[in-house]
Amino acid sequence: MTRKQLIIDSAITLFSEKGIESTSVQQITNHCGISKGAFYLSFKSKDELVFSIIEHFLNTIISEVDQAVTTASEPAEKLYMYFSKTFSILSHYTTFADILMREKVSTFSDEHLEKIHYYIMLSNKNLEKLLLSVFGDQINGKQYDLVIVVNGMVQAYLQWIFEIKKPFDVDLLARSLVEKTTIIAQNSTLRFLDETC
């Protein structure tokens, strides 16, 4: 494990236990067994560390979901794997994500916000390709609306997961979302968006 990964793993643990704002760089370095100087060789600040965790989290979701979808052979299985893998990964990071959403974390730089936007765009493009491969021409022109609808369902269920704070059936949730997405994809007639942003 690299020093950067050790710091990230330790920070996630401490942030989950104490909160982001209440965790100091000194506590992180003590947990890692490294000096503050070693920390600052890896990260310029605690804010940069928090952004690195978010970037790691987004990159993990995109790459692991893409890999799971690619290995599935049937269209319905691809969509199932999308939801199943997404919620499996998100449930692993639930505590940290919940803290990140609740706490006032220092504002990110424009560069960090651009990177987050890049990951969101990449995720949306991957989802759009997936939906077109699953539903084909029947959603042609409506895929942009469907991307927003799927993202909205994922966010709503994620909020529910934050609130219940207990284990849930990922398989049932994934199958339920496949059903809902299929009903919307096959039965919607109006489109609102010409492209996603």
Residue 87 has pLDDT above 60, yes or no: yes
Does residue 5 sit in helix, strand or coil?
helix
Predicted TM-score (pTM) of this structure: 0.83
Residue 154 has pLDDT above 60, yes or no: yes
Quick check: 79 and 181 in contact, CB under 8 A?
yes
E strand residue ranges, 66-130: none
Quick check: 45 and 88 in contact, CB under 8 A?
no
For the ranges 25-29, 71-75, 171-175, which has the lowest average pLDDT?
71-75
For the ranges 51-55, 67-71, 90-94, 139-143, which has the lowest average pLDDT?
90-94
Structure tokens of 1? 């494990």
User: Helix, strand, coil: what percent of the chain each, to 5?
Assistant: 80, 0, 20
pLDDT band at 7 (very low <50, low <70, confident <90, very high): very high
